[in-house]
Amino acid sequence: MTQKKIPHPHNTRAPTAPDATRGRRAGGAWFVTGTDTSVGKTALTAALVGALRARGAAAIPFKPVQTGGRGRTALDIAAVRRICGLTETNAPDLPSGQIFTPACSPHWAARRAGRELCAAELARAARAVRRHADWIVAEGAGGALTPLNERETMADLMARLGWPVWVAARPGLGTINHTRLTLEALQRRGVPVAGVVFVAARGERPDALERENRRSIEQMTGTPVLGRLPYSPALARGDRPGPAFWRAAKALLRAAPAGARPG
Ligand SMILES: Nc1ncnc2c1ncn2[C@@H]1O[C@H](COP(=O)(O)OP(=O)(O)OP(=O)(O)O)[C@@H](O)[C@H]1O
Ligand SMILES: [Mg+2]
């Protein structure tokens, strides 16, 4: 399929309606983690969901654990749905995972609610939601070693699921350290990693530092940096990002390694 034929989330009349006529319904599941909180995981999740839907897959976001929220729909799922233009008509809003009001680590939020999270249960819930869509993109909370309880971490959930993991990382200073730490934690647990994506959430421009960060990460970890999501002023305002963001999102799918690439 040439890029020209891919309907863009923003230039088609039914922007995110899956196109069943293309026969591109092979399913899949990805997990998005990040090198830190607020690094751009939700932006990356939205980019992947939007790009998959532009290819005709009925992709949906999922958030196994959301802290700092309330109600039926996790805040990050609501954000992805807004960014991708998902509606009840083109993508039913399935129940989110566990939602806790305090904006803190999942292990503490759960304890404050008199509960204990369990990686096996979260994995079961994620697999159950997966059955309702061609493609599910699950966003973790915090980073790889964010605790679910006193023993288990987000990385343990990722290991149980075995879904290729996309790592959202900052493009600039400090990212080599944070990205290597994250990748080591994932590799130790045998988590399959699709690659790293730089998210320019603070308006970073591609520069020599970013190029060197990319080269270093790839050479020192053997994990590809699959691309970058550019800064989108609209996204920063809470609106839907423009064409440059979606072009970068589609390029990520093309850059995904075999085994993580959509059909
Ligand atoms: N490419 C971008 N352009 C502009 N703003 C961005 C971009 N990516 C992320 N942001 C903004 O940066 C902030 C943090 O991004 P985001 O919510 O995606 O991070 P996160 O890792 O999902 O955070 P959390 O740990 O809370 O889930 C948000 O306000 C978001 O709108
Ligand atoms: Mg998020």
- Residue 41 belongs to a domain with what CATH number? 3.40.50.300
Which domain does 245 fall in, by range? 25-254
Looking at 4, 5, 63, 250, which residue is catalytic?
63
Bridge partners of residue 165, in order along the sequence: 31, 193
CB of 75 shorter than 6 A to ligand 1:
no
In a domain, 229, yes or no: yes
In a domain, 1, yes or no: no
Please state the atom number of ligand 1 nearest to the C-alpha of residue 231: 3
Question: Which ligand number lies closest to the CA of residue 203?
Answer: 1
Supply the pTM of this predicted model.
0.91
pLDDT tens digits, residue range 9-46? 333 322 333 333 343 445 899 999 999 999 999 999 99
For the four alpha carbons of 17, 21, 27 and 30, in that order, the dihedral sign comes to: negative
pLDDT tens digits, residue range 224-245? 999 999 999 999 998 999 999 9
Give the H or E element holding residue 208. Answer: helix 208-221
In a domain, 12, yes or no: no
In a domain, 72, yes or no: yes
Please state the atom number of ligand 1 nearest to the C-alpha of residue 241: 3
